[in-house]
Every structure is written in C-alpha cells, then in structure tokens.
Structure 1
C-alpha cells in the first residue's frame, strides 16, 4: 500500500483487523464478536468499490451509466446504511425485549448489502463490455492487466454473495438458533470466503494493476512512462 501509494487498501486493512479480532476473541463474548464479524466485510467491500473506480480512472473511462465518482459514493453510502442497521440490530438482539426488532434490522441490512453488491456486479459487467470495445485497452496483456482484475472482481463477487446469503439465513433463523450456535458454519461460509477475498486483493493488488495500466497507456500514446493522464 505504501510502496504503490494505494491508500484505498486502508479499508481492506481495517476489515482484516476486524475479521481477525472477531474470530480470535471468543472470550470477549458473542455480542462483541458478532458486531465485528458483521461489519468487517463492509470495509473490505469498500476497498473493492473504490479500487474499481480507480481502475476506470486509470483506463480513462469517466463513466459507465453515470459518473464513476458518484458510483463509488452511492455504493459506500449503501454500505454505511447496511453498517448502521446491522450494528443496531446486533445491539438490540442483546436486549431481551428487542430481539425481533434487532433481527429485522440485521436482515434489512443484509438485504441492502446484497442488493448493493448485485448492482455493483452489473456495473462491473457493463464496464467490462465498455473496455473491450476500446482498441487500446483490449490489447493489454499480462498478469497485472485490467483483465486480471476483472476476473478477480467476479470471483470476489461470488464469495461476497455466499457470505451475505449465509448471514441472511443465519439471522433469519434467529439469534441463538442452530446455525448461530455452531461456529463451523461461520468458519466455512464467512471466514473462509473473506480470507480468500483478502488473498485475491493482495495477489492482484490494485496498486500493481494501476501501475501496469498507467505504463501501458503511456506507451500506447507515446508518452514517457508515468505521464499519462497528467
């Protein structure tokens, strides 16, 4: 992150810290653990949204449907709304008289998260098609090319979908029920997918992808390396 000045990865780091502390803090109590596990993927998703916007910027694509800056803003706002609902729901579920309200808020938060991510994937698909129609970008090859990052985004989308549907089913079943009381489900359908997502974002790091794209764009236009878009 520091080497490539890709500060957007701070969101990923925050998400990883929350995930790790959540799954290794069993003695802290189920309530605290639940809050951390629920909100961690929201930060990880934010890094994905912002990195996609950054990729479009480096590919000199100003909009797909609407302005790319507005796209990131709307998705992050959706995540913030989901974050607020889920945290409030977990807190209310810890209060005996408000379990049903808390459950409803958490489920609503997960639905917002799923819908938001589905919209994001539709945008990624649209962006993929748009970039493929441009001659310069379509010829780009290599491990850190934009094509590699789009492949990574599709895999990440599937993993996020699995995780969010699992949590939706878990809280739909109810606080303290079978899935909630068996940690193996959380490790398989939450911890594992998020671990793979983080690994993908490190292996296909946006900072390296941006640098490769900038170099390619500069060479394609006959500019000195690093001068594209200035």
Structure 2
C-alpha cells in the first residue's frame, strides 16, 4: 500500500507541475493554476499517508506495540482519516477560490489557511508520537529491535521525510496567509525550493531507504533475516 501511495504521489506531483508549466502559455491560465494547486494538495496527502503507514509497520515489525502512545491498530487509521478530512475541506476551499465572487475567493483562502495550520498541528503530533515510541524502544528494547534489523535507519528516514513535509506545510501556510499579492506568491522560486524540492526529497528517502526493504508483517510475527543486495546490509525480509 505505501509503495502504491508513493507512486501515486510521483504521478500527481508531476502532473501538477506540468499544469503549472502549461499555465504560462495557456489562454486560460487561471484554470491551469487551480488544477496545479489542487493536485499539489493531493500529492501532499499521499506523502503524509505513506509516512503514517510506515510508522505502523515499524512498530509491528519490532513487536513493540506496547511502546506506542496510540494503539497500533488505530495509529495510521487515525492520522489518515484526519488527512482525508483535511484534504476534503481543502478541496472545498480550492473550489471556492475558483468562483468569480471575490467574497467566496477570500473565504476559500481562509478555509485553506485554517486547514494548513491544522495539518501542521496534526503532523507535529504525529512526530511527537514517533519520538516517544523511539525513546521508549531505546530504553526498553524488544528482542527484535536488538537484532540486525536497521530499524533506527528507517525511523531516521521517517524523521527526515517528516521534517521536509513540515517545512513544506509551513511555507505553504505562510503563502496563503500573505495572499496572492504576498512575497512568496510573487516569487516563483519559493514554490520550487520549499514545495517541489521537499516533495522530491521525500520520494528520494522512500526510494533509498524503504524501497530496498519493504517493511511487512507476518501474521505469526516470525522474522527471517536475509540480505537482498550487497549494498544494503541488515535487511530483514518477512515471509508472506
């Protein structure tokens, strides 16, 4: 599932920037701008959902459910549901921005700003849950965490992807707060430095750290150690 979400993120993000490129030569640039804006929101949702699911898999793989602040069977569901709801509200706000009425456009901006701020709070909460789990596992390791599984490498990748996503969210929130006449909106390089680059960085983390070793859980919880490539020592494969 997390692999499919990563591919979906790549496809949606690429289409979004294609629309943004078309916008400069399009006779209806506003339409291309709205499509690009909505698709960047969709891509962000895919990335966040992937990160949420990865933490759940790490917790289960380490057999450390007792170290999680939130029950593991509800962990990713809770944050993914919050992500879906916030995305739906963002979509409504984007639709209001597409209206010709100035009042509706302004209301749409307010809705999107409120949701962006809420997303920042939710993601900070998620990173806090991850940090607590990390510290508890270090203090009271399970027998799996003491093995050759490079679980801290995976958590490090999760932190890195999370910080990149958080930076992107903060900059986008500031952009919408400033409005269309704001400094960030008028300078296109902010979009590439603080939106495209972080999202590309997240995909890179997924490709380098998670693609060689898809974390899966076996119903019986038994693990089999295996090395899948010479460049990735300590890989753990879970039998299907």
> Same-fold call, TM > 0.5?
yes
Question: Which stretch of the first structure deviates more once superposed, 48-57 or 87-96?
Answer: 87-96
More helix by proportion, 1 or 2? 1
1:193 aligns with 2:202: no
Q: How does 1:111-190 map to 2 (within 5 A)?
A: 111-132=117-138, 133-134=140-141, 136-141=143-148, 145-175=150-180, 177-190=182-195
CA distance in 2, matches of 1:48, 1:226: 20
SS in 2 for 1:136: coil
Question: Which stretch of the first structure deviates more once superposed, 26-35 or 196-205?
Answer: 26-35
Query: 1:103 maps to what in 2?
Result: 109
Query: 1:71 maps to what in 2?
Result: 75
CA distance in 2, matches of 1:139, 1:163: 35
CA distance in 2, matches of 1:148, 1:86: 33
Show structure 2 runs of 5+ residues with no match: 24-31, 226-236
Match of 1:89 among 90, 93, 110: 93
Question: Which stretch of the first structure deviates more once superposed, 129-138 or 62-71?
Answer: 129-138
CA distance in 1, matches of 2:73, 2:83: 16
Contact 1:31 1:94 in 2 (8 A): yes
Show structure 1 runs of 5+ residues with no match: 1-6, 217-224
Quote the offset at 1:180 in angstroms. 2.1
CA distance in 2, matches of 1:99, 1:148: 44
Contact 2:64 2:142 in 1 (8 A): no
Quote the offset at 1:209 in angstroms. 5.4
SS in 1 for 2:147: coil
CA distance in 1, matches of 2:168, 2:16: 15
CA distance in 2, matches of 1:131, 1:62: 10
1:214 aligns with 2:219: no
Quote the offset at 1:176 in angstroms. 5.2
Match of 2:7 among 9, 13, 32: 13
SS in 1 for 2:134: helix
Quote the offset at 1:183 in angstroms. 2.0
TM-score (norm 1): 0.84
Quote the offset at 1:22 in angstroms. 0.7
Summarize deviations over 1:22-57 as a string: whole Å, max 9, x none.
112232511111111122111111011011101111
SS in 1 for 2:213: helix
Quote the offset at 1:181 in angstroms. 3.6
Summarize deviations over 1:118-175 as a string: whole Å, max 9, x none.
111111111112222115244334xx61110111111112111110001000111113
Contact 2:145 2:151 in 1 (8 A): no
CA distance in 2, matches of 1:226, 1:157: 25
CA distance in 1, matches of 2:186, 2:35: 15
